[in-house]
Amino acid sequence: MPRVLLASLVAAAVATVAVAQPVVAPPPGAANYFAEKEKDFGVTALGPVLVHYFPIKNTSKQKVTMGTPRIQCGCVSVTLMQPTLEPGETTYLVAYMNTAKIPATQLNTNKSVTVSVPFSSPTFEEVVLTVKCFCNTSLLWSTSDGVSFGTVTKGKPATASMEVTLLNTPGWEIKEVKSHGAYVKAEAKATKKTSNSVTYEITCTLSEKCPAGSWMSDLTVVTNAVGIEKMRVPVTVNVEPKIAAKPGVADLGAVVLGKLSSLDVTLSGKEPFKVLEVKGADGAVSVTTKTEGARLTHTLKVDVKGESAGGLNREIKILTDSKDQPEVILPVSATVTK
């Protein structure tokens, strides 16, 4: 607190004598679309595929078009989720660093790979991104993808684990495991020690409050080994809802103005359930249940009758008697044409 206060007083004193400087806006260019241009995965074992999402936001007032990225090394591949962006839109460039494909001569050292992203509009330019890691061949993971829960059901807790072994360091210890996921807790326990290796088991517990969806998170493993003071371990999970709609979005595509179009949607549950009520219907969208009583699956009929040309989007709420999932949200969309 005293240091903060002192800094504030100094800043105030300087402000009283300094000449106000004009605010200079950053120069226009594609580099400003990237919130980050470098990802350092840190120390890793040989084998895992490391994944990072680089956000790209069009902060200009013109349409942005990107080309196929060029990559310096075959150990890295990328996916550009959307090649064109309207003003204000955001997309992601997903970088995959496959440590198993890093050349043998570049292991046990800092490996850096550049990814060049070309832009063809509004101007011709290129932005260079960098992904890095240090692949330590003395570090062994029992799984290639870190801690994976696989597919779990929403509302139920789950556990998953992996083993981490360090060779040639008998006194190796894991001091702490920090989870960066709000719904994941982690701990490490030494399970095996030999004259030239130490093995720890890292166990993660998933909270029953974790929402449905496919999620990725990280663990930071703090150790006493020189060069491996901190190690990143990815955590992945796919949480299935208790009741799922198929299709997840009732997209009826193009419908003719004034004419009725229909689509059946199936609700599937882990346990028998009842559909109690449907909310959100109106003159353009109506939903009726074709099944009754407690069942594992229910069929709903979605009817759309466009009242005006253009895009049609509704959010239907399906109320059930399931304690774990009393409400299912079903988006309905269509394009009404004359």
| Co-location of 254 and 333 in the same domain | yes
- 21 domain-assigned: no
Which of 18-22, 104-108, 240-244 shows the lowest per-residue confidence on average (mean pLDDT)?
A: 18-22
Q: How far apart are CA 76 and CA 70, in angstroms?
A: 10
| Co-location of 178 and 94 in the same domain | no
pLDDT number for residue 6 = 26
pLDDT number for residue 173 = 96
| Co-location of 125 and 144 in the same domain | no
- 37 domain-assigned: yes
User: Exposed, middle or buried: residue 218 (CB in 10 Å: 0-12, 13-18, 19+)?
Assistant: middle
pLDDT number for residue 294 = 94
- 312 domain-assigned: yes
Does the pLDDT of residue 264 top 90, yes or no? Answer: yes
- 333 domain-assigned: yes
**Residues 245-257: what's their mean pLDDT?**
91
| Co-location of 309 and 281 in the same domain | yes
pLDDT tens figures, 216-229 = 889 999 999 998 99
Tell me how many domains the chain contains: 3
- 186 domain-assigned: yes
Strand-strand pairing, 327-337 and 285-289: unpaired
Residue 53 maps to which CATH number? 2.60.40.10
Reported as a pLDDT band with limits 50, 70 and 90, residue 203 is very high
pLDDT number for residue 164 = 96
Q: How far apart are CA 108 and CA 44, in angstroms?
A: 10
pLDDT tens figures, 78-120 = 999 999 999 999 999 999 999 999 999 999 999 999 999 999 9
Q: How far apart are CA 229 and CA 223, in angstroms?
A: 5
| Co-location of 226 and 211 in the same domain | yes
**Unique residue bearing structure tokens 């399906």:** 318
| Co-location of 229 and 295 in the same domain | no
| Co-location of 45 and 109 in the same domain | yes
| Co-location of 74 and 109 in the same domain | yes
Does the pLDDT of residue 36 top 60, yes or no? Answer: yes
Reported as a pLDDT band with limits 50, 70 and 90, residue 28 is low
Average pLDDT over the chain, rounded to an integer:
88
- 191 domain-assigned: yes
pLDDT number for residue 209 = 86
Reported as a pLDDT band with limits 50, 70 and 90, residue 26 is very low
- 10 domain-assigned: no
| Co-location of 35 and 108 in the same domain | yes
Q: For residue 247, is the peptide bond before it cis, meaning its omega torsion is within 30 degrees of 0?
A: yes
**Residues 40-48: what's their mean pLDDT?**
92
| Co-location of 148 and 236 in the same domain | yes
Pick from 72, 52, 79: nearest CA to 113? 72
Does the pLDDT of residue 212 top 50, yes or no? Answer: yes
Where does a domain end: 119, 135, 151?
Answer: 135
Structural domain containing residue 128:
31-135
CB 330 within 8 A of CB 281: no
Where does a domain end: 113, 135, 157?
Answer: 135
Q: What is the dihedral of CA 129, 135, 139, 142, to 10 degrees?
A: 60
Where does a domain end: 179, 208, 240?
Answer: 240
Does the pLDDT of residue 295 top 80, yes or no? Answer: yes
Sign of CA dihedral 238, 243, 247, 250: negative
pLDDT number for residue 307 = 83
Residues 6 or more apart whose CB falls under 8 angstroms from that of 34 comprise 54, 55, 56, 127, 129
Strand-strand pairing, 158-167 and 125-135: unpaired
**To which H or E segment does residue 3 belong?**
helix 2-17
| Co-location of 307 and 287 in the same domain | yes
- 16 domain-assigned: no
| Co-location of 106 and 170 in the same domain | no
pLDDT number for residue 308 = 87
Does the pLDDT of residue 154 top 90, yes or no? Answer: no
Question: Six-digit token pair at 262?
Answer: 């229909």
pLDDT number for residue 158 = 94
Is 143 strand, coil or helix?
coil
Reported as a pLDDT band with limits 50, 70 and 90, residue 21 is very low
